[in-house]
Copies of this chain bind each other. A is one copy, B any other.
Amino acid sequence: MIDLLKNYSINARRMKKSAIRELLKLTNRPEIISFAGGLPAPEAFPIDEMIDLVEGVLKNYGKKALQYGPTEGYPKFVEQLIKWEKEQNGIDIKPENLLITTASQQALDLVAKILIDPSDPVIVERPTYLGGLQAFNQYGAKFIGVPMDDNETGINMGKLEQTLQKLKTDDEHYKFVYIVPDFQNPTGITIPQEKRKRLIELSEEFQFLLIEDSPYRELRFEGKEPEMMYKMDNTGNVITLHTLSKTFAPGLRLGWIVAHEDIIDKLNTAKQATDLCTPSFTQAIAAEFMARGLLLENIKKVKDLYKKKKDIMLDSFKKYLPERKDITWTRPEGGLFLWLTLPGYMNTSTLFEQALEEKVAYIVGEAFDCYGVMKNAMRMNFSYPSEEEIVEGVKRLANLIKKNIKD
């Protein structure tokens, strides 16, 4: 056999197996209560509704739904999404502003493909979505992390501006800032309206694209919804990524990108060489699902379920975690995750083995940090475990934390 190491591309040599994925395998043991995954609750999958509609899709549109489709998307699905964006987010888009993707991860890959050259600085929140880091890393991104504010409003704008100014002074060719503005993965934090406005102003001032990755936006349990940055924007600098993975079913792998038509055109060309098109069949099903008004219904069901689970997790934190200034957590108004911070001397990687012994699991904070140094935090998922498991799992975790407190 040829010597693979000599033959892999520089891109390939950069790709590391995700340590998290390997850890996640350990957490699949049935006796473990896992807050580690990012999976939607399977009890919320609209299985009966799908049984009801799939036969019709095959009978009425089978010849199109099983055929190759346009790279930009299956026309009926495109139509539904345009209507959706209008009704839900108040934006008027044309088909030229939309590209269907094989879910959000492909959107991230395509954005990276058309924007990142090796060693290009890419600005991200600390912490940020792991899958974003992986997608950008493939193309050789040099990450520049900007910390969050302490008051659960997301990225620190002062630090962001300093970073941008420094890059400008250094003549660095950075191209975008990656933001997860709604119920961020991993922290659950939402960026308020005022900050969003300022982000858009900065994008024009410092000439960068703003990647608004928003997979959880529809899952708001409480509080007031800030506008989508794409809606607030008049510059054309915002690229928004949406998905049905959290509101319908991740197993369909359906997402979409909303952006200026020139950007969509380039993304479309990239997608054509990447997978020709997203499955017509799943798009046809989603189009019918939306046309029947089932997506809205399903979102309501999912929100009720997750809100309850989130409240139970917060209640259990209050009840079981030691009351200390150096143990804090976020209080998300939606989404699937929250962020638990432990005393600075604790290392959640080291704790992880003990956690498995106690039969509870989470994801270590450092996985979401582009610098890999946020050692004393963890991401907690509340969508997948049952209500009972949440209570019991938090108890186990609290015991573990108490055991490791030094004072």
Contact = CB atoms under 8 A, between A and B. Distances in A.
Nearest to A69: B251
Contacts of A236: 1
A190 B47 CA distance: 45
A105 B2 contact: no
A17 to B, nearest CB: 5
A8 B131 CA distance: 21
A1 to B, nearest CB: 4
Nearest to A7: B175
A267 B15 CA distance: 10
- Count the copies: 2
A7 B131 contact: no
Contacts of A51: 54-55, 58-59
A266 B116 contact: no
Interface string A134-169: 110111000000000000000000000000000000
A276 B131 contact: yes
A405 to B, nearest CB: 35
Contacts of A282: 279, 281-282
A113 B11 contact: yes
A253 B278 contact: yes
A251 B281 contact: yes
A151 to B, nearest CB: 30
A62 B251 CA distance: 10
A270 interface: yes
Nearest to A273: B134
Contact of A275 (B105, B117, B139): B105
